[in-house]
């Protein structure tokens, strides 16, 4: 016979002990899952530098998209002005043709073909040779002018529509690249925030020491002096040493890499493009041994970073958010080529 006795209930003490043990296990498990190993100072620096490079790649692409956006907006404005002017000219031509029709009517009636042309929907008749053949020579000339103007306006409107579509795509690209750059910078800051106060202080001291050593080397023997406008550009860039780095900025107190080089050359009276990829084609390309003070230097395979050659194996550049505008050894980055700017 089966037993119908109720199972023995655990004592209150046993329940309490089991509950406490389970809670402790949960806490230990949670702590084990969240306690990721803290990176060393050098590991954090390497990670942050990599994120800064990725952010700068996105920044230069954003700069390029901004350049295309500005150009498209200007072109669209010009086309819209041309369309408005063309529409006024078309209205004037139609008014003149209407005056011919009025005069014809007063002197004996208007031609049926001309009446059709001046109706609410005259475009249907513009390409019909039989209609034009029934008009006078003067009227034919007026109609042909209207035809040409209407076709021109249609082409301009189609061109504007295409550029508006390009503008929409460019704006979306610009916003995405800005977000990409901001996300990378935020990730870099998170890595820095994960360090102890002592590690962050040491990282800053290391950066300051490296920058000081680079400046001493660049200025050894009185510093390299460039000639011509390249030399002048270098001297203008030197005035910005210590300024902050900020994506998309072109001064006066913060810069990105290509913003600084464009401004420096602009101050020296030479107009160069805004983004690194275009600055790479702003003049004759040079090997490392050919560099002279003030020449542009392009770094990384995709050419997303640029600086000015400062002599003694050093570059002056807007480096990253941690370093700002500073001197640095050319050898610290993957050198691609120099550029001697035309002009």
Catalogue the active-site residues: 257, 305, 317
Query: What is the per-residue DSSP string for 281-338?
Result: TSEEEE-GGG--TT-EEEESTT--EEEEEEETTEEEEE--TTT-EEEEEGGGS-EEEE
Note whether 296 and 263 are within 8 A (CB). Answer: no
Q: Which two tokens stand for residue 148?
A: 């040409």
Handedness of CA 142, 147, 150, 153 (dihedral sign): negative
Q: For 125-168, what is the HEC assignment?
A: HCCCHHHHHCCCHHHHHHHHHHHHHHHHHHHHHHHHHHHHHHHH
Helix 257-267 × helix 41-106 angle, to 10°: 60
CA distances from 147 to 56, 128, 129, 140, 157 (A): 52, 11, 12, 10, 15
CA distance 288 to 336: 9
Mapped onto helix, strand or coil, the DSSP state of residue 118 is: coil
Comparing CA positions, the residue from 207, 267, 282, 162 lying closest to residue 52 is 207
Q: Cβ(270)–Cβ(228) under 8 Å? A: no
197 vs 321: CA distance, rounded Å: 19
Distance CA 283, CA 329 (A): 23
């Amino acid at each position: 016979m089966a037993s119908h006795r109720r199972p023995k209930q655990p004592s209150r003490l046993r329940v309490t002990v089991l509950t406490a043990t389970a809670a402790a296990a949960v806490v230990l498990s949670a702590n084990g899952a969240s306690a990721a190993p803290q990176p060393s100072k050098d590991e954090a620096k390497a990670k942050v530098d990599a994120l800064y490079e990725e952010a700068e790649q996105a920044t230069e692409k954003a700069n390029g998209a901004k350049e295309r956006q500005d150009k498209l907006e200007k072109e669209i404005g010009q086309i819209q002005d041309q369309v408005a002017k063309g529409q006024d000219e078309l209205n004037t031509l139609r008014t003149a043709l209407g005056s011919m029709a009025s005069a014809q009517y007063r002197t004996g009636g208007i031609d049926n073909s001309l009446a059709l042309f001046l109706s609410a929907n005259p475009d249907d008749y513009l390409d019909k040779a039989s209609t034009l053949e029934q008009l006078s020579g003067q009227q034919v000339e007026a109609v042909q002018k209207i035809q040409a103007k209407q076709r021109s306006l249609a082409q301009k409107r189609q061109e504007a529509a295409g550029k508006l579509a390009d503008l929409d795509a460019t704006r979306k690209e610009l916003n995405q690249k800005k977000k990409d750059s901001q996300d990378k910078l935020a990730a870099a800051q998170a890595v820095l925030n994960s360090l102890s106060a002592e590690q962050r202080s040491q990282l800053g001291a290391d950066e300051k020491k490296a920058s000081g050593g680079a400046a001493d080397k660049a200025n050894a023997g009185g510093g390299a002096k460039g000639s011509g406008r390249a030399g002048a550009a270098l001297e203008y860039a030197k005035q910005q040493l210590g300024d902050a780095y900020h994506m998309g900025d072109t001064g006066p107190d913060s810069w990105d890499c290509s913003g600084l080089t464009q401004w420096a050359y602009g101050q020296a009276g030479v107009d160069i493009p805004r983004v690194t990829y275009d600055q790479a084609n702003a003049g004759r390309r040079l090997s490392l041994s050919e560099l002279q003070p003030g020449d542009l230097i392009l770094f990384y395979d995709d050419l997303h970073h640029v600086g000015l050659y400062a002599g003694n194996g050093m570059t002056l550049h807007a480096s990253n958010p941690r370093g700002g505008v500073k001197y640095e050894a050319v050898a610290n980055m993957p050198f691609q080529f120099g550029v001697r700017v035309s002009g």
